[in-house]
Amino acid sequence: MKKIQERQIQILKHIIEEYIKTGEITGSKSLLSKHDLQVSSATVRNDMMSLEKMWLLFQPYNSAGRLPTSRGLRVFVDYLMETMPGVFIEAEELYAKKIENNRIDDTLYSLVSRLTKITGEITFACIPALGASYYVGLSNYIDRNKWVIGYEVYQVIKTLENKHEFIAFLDSLDIGPRVSAFIGNENILPELESSTMIVKRIELDGYTGYLGILGSTMMDYAFNITALRQVL
């Protein structure tokens, strides 16, 4: 294979990174607008044509954009491993962060699963700083509250599914480490006016979050409050 110039390697790298990120083709104008290549558009187009002749890029249809071939991806990976160890240091840091977040996610899911198994109610847990939020037990809520009209059930589901709004709602409340109960229209969200929410603030691996129980206003208050107190 013809020797690849350093500038062509950089162009190949940018096209592949865009492909990995978006799956979209990349053209010369896009490359020049996003990266300081310090060459003309004509030079970039010529380099892209050279890379195509080396079977490192291909043109999927009649456009100015290119995508990497398997051969191009191979050259990219070899280049990273030989010349850019810093990329792998960054990747290791990202991997460690994702492992930590997954561990927190696993802990949250374990908490709500255990709490739902004990109480038979909907339980939820979230860490606002991570955007992590879980709930389980919806079928329990439906089974235990067959008298509740469908619209009210829909409102509860809608609230839990709208993760960002629900987290913002919890953040707006004065929730401390002691269990708090919000009954009926004490919930500022109109969707929860027919429900009771029992909740407390939790600390998990340095992050602040919330753990709670959501059910009808006919729930077993003493038992559910006790159960929530005992967790974490």
For residue 100, pLDDT beyond 70: no
Which range has highest mean pLDDT (11-15, 102-106, 141-145, 154-158)?
A: 11-15
Task: Give the percent of the chain with pLDDT over 90.
Answer: 17
What gap in Å lies between CA 35 and CA 60, rounded to an integer? 23
**pLDDT at site 147:** 57
Residues 6+ apart with CB under 8 A from 174: 180
Q: List, for residues 25-71, the tens digit of each pLDDT value.
A: 888 888 888 888 888 888 888 888 898 899 999 988 776 688 989 98
For residue 102, pLDDT beyond 90: no
Which range has highest mean pLDDT (82-86, 175-179, 203-207)?
A: 175-179
- 152 versus 226: the higher-pLDDT residue is 226
| Buried residues in 115-148 as b, exposed as e (16+ CB within 10 A) | bbebbbbbbbbbbbebebbbbbbbebbeebbeeb
For residue 87, pLDDT beyond 80: no
| CATH topology assigned to domain 6-83 | Arc Repressor Mutant, subunit A (1.10.10)
**pLDDT at site 225:** 93
Tell me if the domain spanning 95-230 has CATH number 3.30.450.40.
yes
Give the range among 90-94, 108-112, 133-137 with minimum mean pLDDT: 90-94
Residues of the chain with CATH 3.30.450.40: 95-230
The arithmetic mean of pLDDT across residues 207-229, rounded, is 91
**pLDDT at site 64:** 66
- 44 versus 88: the higher-pLDDT residue is 44
For residue 13, pLDDT beyond 70: yes
| Buried residues in 22-44 as b, exposed as e (16+ CB within 10 A) | eeebbbbebbbeeeebeeeeeeb
**pLDDT at site 180:** 92
Residues of the chain with CATH 1.10.10.10: 6-83
The arithmetic mean of pLDDT across residues 191-203, rounded, is 88
The arithmetic mean of pLDDT across residues 131-148, rounded, is 74
- 92 versus 131: the higher-pLDDT residue is 131
Environment class of 50 (CB within 10 Å of its CB; exposed 0-12, middle 13-18, buried 19+): middle
What gap in Å lies between CA 37 and CA 225, rounded to an integer? 62
What residue type is assigned to position 202 of the chain?
Answer: I
Which range has highest mean pLDDT (58-67, 154-163, 201-210)?
A: 201-210
